[in-house]
Amino acid sequence: MPQGAVRGDVVLDVRGLVKHYDDTPVLHGVDLTVAEHEVVALIGSSGSGKSTLLRCAALLEEVTDGQVLLDGDDITDPGVDADRVRSRFGVVFQAFNLFPHMTVRQNITLAPRVVHGVPAGEADARALELLERVGLADKADAYPDRLSGGQQQRAAIARAVAVEPRVLLLDEVTSALDPELVGEVLALVRELAEGGATILMATHEMGFARRVADHVVFLDGGRVCEEGPPAQVLGEPTQPRTQQFLRRVVDAGRL
Ligand SMILES: Nc1ncnc2c1ncn2[C@@H]1O[C@H](COP(=O)(O)OP(=O)(O)OP(=O)(O)O)[C@@H](O)[C@H]1O
Taking CA atoms only, the protein residue closest to ligand 1 atom 7 is 21
pLDDT at 253 over 80: no
Q: Which residues contact 194 (CB under 8 A, 6 or more apart)?
A: none
Task: Evaluate whether residue 243 is within a structural domain.
Answer: no
* 9 CA to centre of ligand 1 in angstroms: 30
pLDDT tens track for 88-106? 999 998 877 899 999 999 9
Query: What's the rounded Cα separation, in Å, for the pair 154 and 135?
Result: 8
> Does the residue 47 lie in any domain?
no
> pLDDT tens across 61-86, in order?
999 999 999 999 999 998 999 988 99
Mean pLDDT of the chain: 91
The stretch 144-168 carries a mean pLDDT of 91
C-alpha distance across the termini of the chain, in Å: 22
In a domain, 60, yes or no: no
Distance 249 CA to ligand 1 centre (A): 20
Residue 131 resides in a domain: yes
Nearest protein CA to atom 8 of ligand 1, as residue: 52
Query: Kind of pairing, strands 24-35 and 167-171?
Result: unpaired
Query: Would you tell me how many other CB atoms lie within 10 Å of the CB of residue 27?
Result: 27
Sign of CA dihedral 151, 216, 11, 192: negative
* Complex prediction ipTM: 0.96
User: Could you list the residue range(s) of the whole structural domain that residue 144 is in?
Assistant: 100-165
Q: Give whole-number Cα distances, 95 to 4, 169, 173, 204, in Å.
A: 32, 14, 7, 15
Nearest CA to ligand 1 atom 9: 52
Flag whether pLDDT at 113 surpasses 90: yes
Phi/psi of residue 169, nearest 5 degrees = -110, 115
Structural domain total, the chain: 1
27 alpha carbon – ligand 1 mean position (Å): 10
Residues with CB under 6 A from ligand 1: 21, 26, 44, 46-52, 172, 202
Q: How far apart are CA 41 and CA 171, in angstroms?
A: 10
In a domain, 185, yes or no: no
Residue 108 within a domain = yes
Residue 113 within any structural domain of the chain: yes
Q: Is residue 94 part of a domain?
A: no
- pTM to 2 decimal places: 0.92
Q: In what order do the strands lie in the sheet with 223-228?
A: 89-92, 167-171, 199-202, 39-43, 215-220, 223-228
